[in-house]
Homo-oligomer: A and B are copies of this chain.
Amino acid sequence: MEQADCIVFGEHILTMNDRLDIVHDGAVVVRGGVIAEIDSAENIRRKYSSACSVGGQGRLVLPGFVNSHTHAAMVFFRGLADDLPLKDWLEKHIWPAEMRFLNPEFVYDAVMLAGLEMLKSGITTFNDMYFFGDSTARASKQLGIRAFLGVGIVDFPTMTAKTVDEYIGNADRFIDAWKGDPLITPCIAPHSAYACCTQTLKRVKELADRRNVLTTIHLSETEWEVAQLVGSYGKRPVEYLESIGFLGNRLLAAHCVWVDDREIDLLALRGVAVSHCIESNLKLASGIAPVPKMLAAGLKVALATDGAASNNDLNILSEMSTAAKIHKTLANDPTVIDSRTALLMATRWGAEAMGLGGVTGSLEPGMRADMITLNLQKPHLTPAFDLYSLVVYAAMASDIEDVMVDGKPVVRNRVLLTGDEEEILQKAREWGRKVLSAST
């Protein structure tokens, strides 16, 4: 008998591999943090022994979800100011709260809450763009969640830097600090083409190329942004970034709501990946990205929650459901974004969008063992005709039972193993009281 670190059993295993193989009555063998083998439970039991066994009958095993764009620490502003125009929301509520409270301790405590929520929603990898990246990285390591982290860069001073030189230096140091970490993948995160000038974006590109890291940016989120860029440069956002040589297959662009057909072709030509943040875009009345057109053009589109201040949760299951449904009506075609496509956007395509395609996002031998079990024995998941449909259209985050990241169990029967949930909630409530007292 060979020794396994852990064996994960499933009545069904959605591998999300190229052929979308489903293994019934199957098992996934985990050894040294990677998936060693996937086969029938019977064969695996005959070949391996392990002290750790997860899942079983009535459980669906699938890759952990990938949240391809968020601002995790903003979870402390969840519901602080909803149903308001974007300008009021930002200028009267979010920015004042950020100016007053942001510091490394706030970000660490907030990411502990955000990571807890994400893990319990089945998210095993997230892409974050915010300030105090070291705090985000430390909290992610503590929780055991995989993170693709960008240090925010803007042209104006904030609490983390005063000049572009300083921002670029911070980004460089952040890469030094975390490159090679098994869970943390550093990237560079210029905020947007309206908050960074051409010179700044060129320096970002140079740094990203030199350090061989990916870049992530907000792109064409609102009509206002398009008007700004057209006003400043005479070009729409994607055309502008193309003109300065910024587009490429190492760029992950969040939103891309207001892109015309020519811009979609440009994004496809350059191999840019897109984060689709449907619930945030809807709630802020920003618009709806033309995802079916993007997919038809061959673009890689991944799903994302955006920050909890605008969404208001960190739940990829509801993003899948909303995205799959809304594009059917906009396209006047119920076959658009079927449940398989939606689940690919929430798993493998998300990983690939971050350059982590060989690491996570599908269950295949040699991949890091990032996976979740989902309890199918629920009223809203009965009867079970189509597993993809159940996951995309009916499952809730609370159906996720066990979560493993990098071969390590981090949630077991919905209990966090890598931190004290009550303590995390308690700290969050304390910060909440401070934020509330300052914003009213």
Contacts and interface: CB of A to CB of B under 8 A. Distances in A.
B282 A383 contact: no
A231 interface: no
Given A76-B383, A379-B424, 7 more contacts: A83-B324, A85-B335, A284-B328, A284-B334, A377-B425, A382-B429, A398-B399
Interface stretch (A43-51, A163-171, A306-314): A306-314
B315 A318 contact: no
Interface string A275-287: 0000101111111
A385 B80 contact: yes
Contacts of A282: 325-326, 328-329
A394 interface: yes
Interface stretch (A30-38, A189-197, A430-438): A430-438
Contacts of A318: 318, 321
Given A285-B334, A382-B113, A383-B432, A79 B389 contact: yes
A382 B83 contact: no
Copies in the complex: 2
A288 B384 CA distance: 29
A70 to B, nearest CB: 13
A269 interface: no
Nearest to A334: B285
B79 A385 contact: yes
Contacts of A379: 113, 116-117, 120, 421, 424-425, 428
A177 interface: no
Contacts of A394: 78-79, 308, 312-313
A393 interface: yes
9 contacts: A78-B394, A79-B386, A83-B335, A281-B329, A322-B325, A379-B421, A380-B397, A383-B431, A397-B398
A76 to B, nearest CB: 6
A78 B385 contact: yes
Most B CB atoms within 10 A — which of A83, A428, A431?
A83
Interface residues of A, number: 72
Most B CB atoms within 10 A — which of A288, A314, A328?
A328
A332 interface: yes
A294 to B, nearest CB: 18
A282 B334 CA distance: 8
Interface string A392-424: 011011110000000000000000000001001
A11 interface: no
Report the 3 A-B pairs with minimum CB-CB distance, sorted nearest first.
A383-B432, A398-B398, A282-B325
A159 interface: no
A265 interface: no
A436 B377 CA distance: 18
B435 A383 contact: yes
A390 interface: yes
Interface string A316-359: 00100110111011011111101100000000000000000000
A311 B382 CA distance: 14
Most B CB atoms within 10 A — which of A121, A379, A394, A396?
A379
A281 B424 CA distance: 39
A429 B381 CA distance: 10
Contacts of A82: 338-339, 386, 389, 393
A295 interface: no
A86 interface: yes
Contacts of A120: 379-380
A227 interface: no
Contacts of A244: none
A84 interface: yes
Contact of A287 (B286, B329, B424, B432): B329
Contacts of A425: 377, 379, 382
A416 to B, nearest CB: 9
A379 B385 CA distance: 32
Contacts of A80: 385-386
Nearest to A82: B389
